[in-house]
Amino acid sequence: MAHLLVVESWVGSMSRLLPRALGEGGHHFTFLTRDLQHYLRTAPEGTAHPLLTARNVVTAPTNDLEALLPLTERLHGALPFDGVITSCDYYLPAAARIAARLGLRGPAPDAMENACRKDATRRILAAAGLPGPRFAVCEDAVAAAEAAQDIGYPLVVKPVDLCAGMLVRRVDDAAQLAAACRALEAFPVNARGQRRTAHILLEEFLRGPEVSVETVTYEGTVHVVGVTDKSVGGAPAFVETGHMFPADLTPDGIAAAADTAVRAGTALGLDDVVAHTEIKLTAEGPRVVEVNPRPAGNRITELVRHVTGIDLAAACVDVALGRRPDLRRRDTGLRSAAIGFLVPDTTGTLASVEGSAGLRDADGVLDIQLAEPGRTVVAADSNNAYLGHVMAGDAAGLGARDRVESLLAGLRPRLVRS
């Protein structure tokens, strides 16, 4: 039994998966947070609140690294830790710094910081010779307008330090670029109270399907668990509308995507991490969209476990403890698993989701979650606005996506205009 220090976390599906992995591994944990109320406002559906399984809950200045590091040293003296972990993008660098300060196993802090900063990732991958989009890192909207003339439209405008597709936009002209820059400027603090950098990342718009490569790196060896495909909507935003594991690609396509992801992680110096690397399959070959040095969100980790039996949340715990993760594939009875999200395209108040009767008993369904009536709904412009999801599997082949899409097509959210 090990004792882990969990720094913040509990976001999205990992609010259930990480505590489950800790419990199934026989471990206990101390939870570190600056705002306990952030976690007490809601509990994950279908389970007890994960904080109920914490051995200790400690309030700490998790956004102030200078104050946080000596505090964790004192905690380590009183409550010795065997590893440090987080599932929240905004605290991955802090967790790596804490582990290094305490002399515990973990990824190199500089590598985590570079992977979590989209501008740093772009520069490092370009320097390593990985083909990628033309890009520019701009200090403000004026510089962005100048850089856009050099790169050429259409472009993708990105914040360098947000996640879940927040404020990522396609722009086709100078007016759209200016509007995207104003939106970034109007969002100076992220959801965890951390002040953002004002830098703007411009990238050439890449055409082609998008996939993600799920990897586990331990003691310098990268293990490719598989490739997930995804569908994206919500233009000009980039909202993930669904995923299927494994991706329906040729063996050569899978190998090319996997090789690109491995090269990207190596260039960034990532080790002792579970990673989720997003790749565009362009006509010129695979191109890295971004590297996320943590298990995949949006329930991709659950799709992987349904098909392979591999628990990426448990692997994340293992590498944090310096233990070799169990990546053996098991026969789960499924050849593919997919998820589709109910994505709103209008605003209002949710009155009901029609067409859901009997859905849980439909063939192949693995999980369904739908928003409760009364919820305020906004047209989705990131991955944070879903009204629910349907997850299904296929025992015969790669038919899980088609199954999910047919089930989603029968759902009709009914909104009352505000």
* Amino acid letter, 311: D
Tell me, yes or no, whether 381 lies in a domain.
Answer: yes
Both 321 and 382 in one domain: the answer is no
Least confident of 84-98, 148-162, 175-189, 349-363: 349-363
Region at 241 (left for phi over 0; alpha for psi -120 to 50; beta for the rest)? alpha
Both 198 and 211 in one domain: the answer is no
C-alpha distances (whole Å) from 8 to each of 58, 90, 98, 105, 241 are: 10, 9, 13, 19, 27
Largest CA distance in the chain: 58
Structural domain ending residue among the three candidates 332, 351, 377: 332
CATH number of the domain to which 225 belongs: 3.30.470.20
Tell me, yes or no, whether 114 lies in a domain.
Answer: no
Both 192 and 214 in one domain: the answer is no
Both 74 and 31 in one domain: the answer is yes
What is the tens place of the pLDDT at every residue in 12-63? 778 788 989 999 999 999 999 999 988 887 666 666 788 888 999 999 999 9
Both 195 and 213 in one domain: the answer is no
Query: Which residue spans within 65-199 are E strands per DSSP?
Result: 83-85, 135-138, 155-159, 169-171
Residues in Cβ contact with 380 at an 8 Å cutoff, skipping those fewer than 6 apart? 234, 237, 239, 343, 344, 345, 386
Give the DSSP letter string of 9-71: ---TTHHHHHHHHHHHTT-EEEEEES-THHHHS---TTS--GGGG-SEEEE--TT-HHHHHHH
Tell me what percent of the residues of the chain surpass a pLDDT of 90: 89
Please answer whether residues 165 and 233 qualify as being in contact, where contact means their C-beta atoms are separated by less than 8 angstroms. Answer: no
Tell me, yes or no, whether 127 lies in a domain.
Answer: no
According to the model, what pLDDT value does residue 9 have?
87
Give the DSSP letter string of 317-377: HHHHTT----------S-SEEEEEE----S-EEEEEEET-TTGGGSTTEEEEEEPPTT-EE
As a whole number of angstroms, the distance between CA 18 and CA 10 comes to: 8
Q: In what order do the strands lie in the sheet with 376-377?
A: 376-377, 348-354, 412-416
Both 34 and 95 in one domain: the answer is yes
C-alpha distances (whole Å) from 278 to each of 164, 215, 228, 230 are: 12, 11, 9, 10
Tell me, yes or no, whether 251 lies in a domain.
Answer: yes
As a whole number of angstroms, the distance between CA 346 and CA 243 comes to: 23
> Over the Cα atoms of the chain, what is R_g?
21
69: domain range? 3-104
Structural domain ending residue among the three candidates 173, 204, 235: 204
Structural domain ending residue among the three candidates 59, 85, 104: 104
According to the model, what pLDDT value does residue 384 have?
87
Please answer whether residues 226 and 245 qualify as being in contact, where contact means their C-beta atoms are separated by less than 8 angstroms. Answer: yes
Tell me, yes or no, whether 121 lies in a domain.
Answer: no
Residues in Cβ contact with 79 at an 8 Å cutoff, skipping those fewer than 6 apart? 3, 30, 56
CATH number of the domain to which 93 belongs: 3.40.50.20
Both 31 and 100 in one domain: the answer is yes
Both 211 and 305 in one domain: the answer is yes
Would you tell me how many other CB atoms lie within 10 Å of the CB of residue 57?
Answer: 14
Both 326 and 340 in one domain: the answer is no
Tell me, yes or no, whether 218 lies in a domain.
Answer: yes
Least confident of 10-24, 77-91, 232-246, 265-279: 10-24
Tell me, yes or no, whether 124 lies in a domain.
Answer: no
Both 300 and 382 in one domain: the answer is no
pTM > 0.85? yes
Both 327 and 219 in one domain: the answer is yes
Both 73 and 162 in one domain: the answer is no
What is the tens place of the pLDDT at every residue in 152-210? 999 999 999 999 899 999 999 999 999 999 999 999 999 999 999 999 999 999 999 99
As a whole number of angstroms, the distance between CA 193 and CA 90 comes to: 10
Please answer whether residues 104 and 84 qualify as being in contact, where contact means their C-beta atoms are separated by less than 8 angstroms. Answer: yes
According to the model, what pLDDT value does residue 249 have?
97
Pick the closest to residue 9 from 50, 56, 41 (CA basis): 50
CATH number of the domain to which 139 belongs: 3.30.1490.20
Please answer whether residues 211 and 244 qualify as being in contact, where contact means their C-beta atoms are separated by less than 8 angstroms. Answer: no
* 43: exposed, middle or buried (Cβ count in 10 Å: 0-12, 13-18, 19+): middle
Q: Which two three-digit tokens encode residue 211?
A: 């996939």
pLDDT for 68 beyond 90: yes
Tell me, yes or no, whether 293 lies in a domain.
Answer: yes
Please answer whether residues 89 and 294 qualify as being in contact, where contact means their C-beta atoms are separated by less than 8 angstroms. Answer: yes
* Total domains, the chain: 4
